[in-house]
C-alpha cells in the first residue's frame, strides 16, 4: 500500500476513535502511534498502558474495562507484519475487540521505521 495512503488511513481511523488507550510493550510502533495519536486527536484524548504479561487475556480484560470506563477505544501497537508473522497469536486481542490502528492502515514494521526517521508522526 502507498505509505502516504496508509498514513491518511491511520489519521482518519484515529479521528474516528476520538479517544484512545494505547496498550504498549514499549516498542517503536508504540512511540510512532502515540505521537501520531497525540498530534491527530490531542494529548488529552490519548492515554497509554505499558505492560507485558504472559496472560494477554487477563491483561486485555483489565485494559478493556479501564478503556470503557474512560470512554476510550483500546488500541494495540500491532502492525501488518505482526498479522502476517503471527496470524494465530492474536486470540486475546480478537476476544476483547482491541483495535490495531497501524495494522488497519497497512503499516508494516519497515513502514513504521521509515515514518519515524522522516519525523512523520509529528
Residue 40 near residue 7 (C-beta atoms within 8 A): no
Residue 120 has a pLDDT of 55
Domain total for the chain? 1
Residue 122 has a pLDDT of 41
User: Cell triple for residue 116?
Assistant: 519515524
Residues whose CB falls within 8 Å of the CB of residue 80, separated by 6 or more in sequence, listed in order: 102, 103, 106, 107, 108
Round to whole Å and give the CA distance between 18 and 1: 25
3-state helix, strand, coil in the chain (%, to 5): 60, 10, 30
What CATH number is attached to the domain comprising 76?
Answer: 3.40.50
Round to whole Å and give the CA distance between 110 and 119: 14
Average pLDDT for residues 101-120, to the nearest whole number? 85
Q: Which domain holds residue 104?
A: 3-118
Over the stretch 3-41, which tens digit does the pLDDT of each residue have? 788 999 999 999 999 999 999 877 778 899 999 999 999
pTM: 0.86
Over the stretch 37-80, which tens digit does the pLDDT of each residue have? 999 999 999 999 987 778 888 889 999 999 999 999 999 998 88
Amino acid at each position: 500500500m502507498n505509505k502516504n495512503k496508509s498514513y491518511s488511513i491511520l489519521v482518519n481511523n484515529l479521528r474516528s476513535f476520538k479517544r484512545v488507550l494505547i496498550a504498549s510493550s514499549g516498542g517503536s510502533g508504540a512511540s510512532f502511534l502515540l505521537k501520531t495519536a497525540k498530534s491527530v486527536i490531542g494529548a488529552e484524548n490519548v492515554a497509554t498502558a505499558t505492560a507485558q504479561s504472559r496472560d494477554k487475556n487477563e491483561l486485555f480484560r483489565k485494559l478493556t474495562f479501564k478503556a470503557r470506563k474512560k470512554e476510550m477505544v483500546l488500541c494495540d501497537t500491532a502492525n501488518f507484519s505482526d498479522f502476517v508473522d503471527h496470524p494465530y497469536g492474536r486470540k486475546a486481542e480478537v476476544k476483547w475487540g482491541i483495535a490495531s490502528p497501524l495494522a488497519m492502515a497497512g503499516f508494516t514494521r519497515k513502514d513504521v521505521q521509515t515514518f519515524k526517521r522522516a519525523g512523520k508522526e509529528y
